Amino acid sequence: MNLSKELSTRQESARHAAAKDYTEYFSFSRKSSTVVILIAILVVIGYFIWWLNIPFIEDIFTAGTITLIMALGFQLFMGNSGVLNWSYVGYVGIGAFASAIFSMTPSFKAMQIPTMYPFLVNLHLPFPVALVAGAMVAMIVAALVAWPLMRLSDAVGAITQFALLIVINVLLSQWSQITNGPRTFTLGGTRLTSLWVALGVAVLVIIIVYYFKESSLGLKLRATRDDRYAARSSGINFVAVRYYAYVVSAFIGGLAGGLYSHYILSITAASFYMGELFMILSMLVIGGSMSVSGAFFGTLFVTLMRQFLRQAENFLTRSGFEASGSTEIVVAVLMIIFLVWQADGITGGEELTWEKIKRRLPNGKKSREKVSKNVKQEEKA
């Protein structure tokens, strides 16, 4: 009896020693380590590219960072609710047009769109305020239409969201007094979305999306994803939690749209339709839609792959081969492969934490082997 008790005490001490070994290098919690790692990777890459001072690479990074913000906003609702939000890219477009109108000078708006409503022509806001105001417009639109839609799930919910995307796109492409109709909407002036602006907003969005996921609201939303009937029986109002997530997702999408319009300086309603949605969806599928880390690494992977494929496509076209559209074909085939053989994406639906990195390091492996060996020796004794 005493021997068994002593053995149990030794095993418990060994486990505590192993746990201390894994946490001695970092004092921050498991939850915070994911945020720190993702932000550190993004900032290091951004600083290195800024240090290189190559405009072409800076443009790729800035555009990729804006796309990362879009993917994170998309993941916030889709990844936690399990509902494919087709309408999301429509809110990106609303934020893009709204922030552009808010930031443009009255004289340029009058010249660009002579039929624009007078109260919009005279409205002029600084870029940061216009950016937030555009995101607020997207959020308000989402708040007005979302409540009845949040009751729907599965195929019905997806079809309804797709129908809403069509409505938004038609309004953006035909409302001449606001968006210049089907014609190109030009902002004029200089590019206001720089590398550091996009990077700063991306850092803020990573924090918001991750801690939303880890909050009680995010936990309730994932409960409705796994089994909405069991969640309802537990007292969770699944319509309300979906609604809040949907509205926050629309705000982040509108913010990304504002950054995009002030980066590209020339937009149309077609910029925020199926092509953009396909790109964002491919990033979540390949990276893993269930985690913020999946959205992050999926965006990184797809952005680099698309740049490589575009260069290869241009080379083949110049060589006399018709290769237009091959980039989209390759991405689509890769999505199919992941959905069939690796449905949880690159990250397996899990977050990247320091503990997981530490386990893969040589010291971590040696420590685990040492603890396991000590426990076995004590059991034999």
* Distance between start and end Cα atoms, the chain: 14
- Mean pLDDT in residue range 330-345: 88
Per-residue pLDDT, 39: 93
Q: Cα 11 to the chain's mean position, in Å?
A: 43
Tokens of 200: 């700063």
Question: What is the band of 10 on the pLDDT scale with cuts at 50, 70, 90?
Answer: very low
Cβ atoms of residues 88 and 74 within 8 Å: yes
Q: What is the DSSP letter of 127?
A: H
User: How confident is the model at residue 351, as a pLDDT?
Assistant: 83
Confidence of residue 23 (pLDDT cuts 50, 70, 90): very low
Q: What is the DSSP string of 139-204?
A: HHHHHHHHHHHTT--HHHHHHHHHHHHHHHHHHHHH-HHHH-TTS-EE--S-----HHHHHHHHHH
CATH number (1.10.287, 2.60.40, 3.90.550, 1.10.3470) of 29-380 reads 1.10.3470
Number of separate helices (H) and strands (E) present in the chain: 18, 2
Q: pLDDT tens, 46-71?
A: 999 999 988 999 999 999 999 999 99
Q: How many residues does the chain have?
A: 381
Q: For the chain, what are the domain ranges? A: 29-380
Q: Report the distance separating Cα 347 and Cα 294, nearest Å.
A: 6
Q: Concatenated DSSP letters for 356-373?
A: HHHHHSHHHHHHHHHHHH
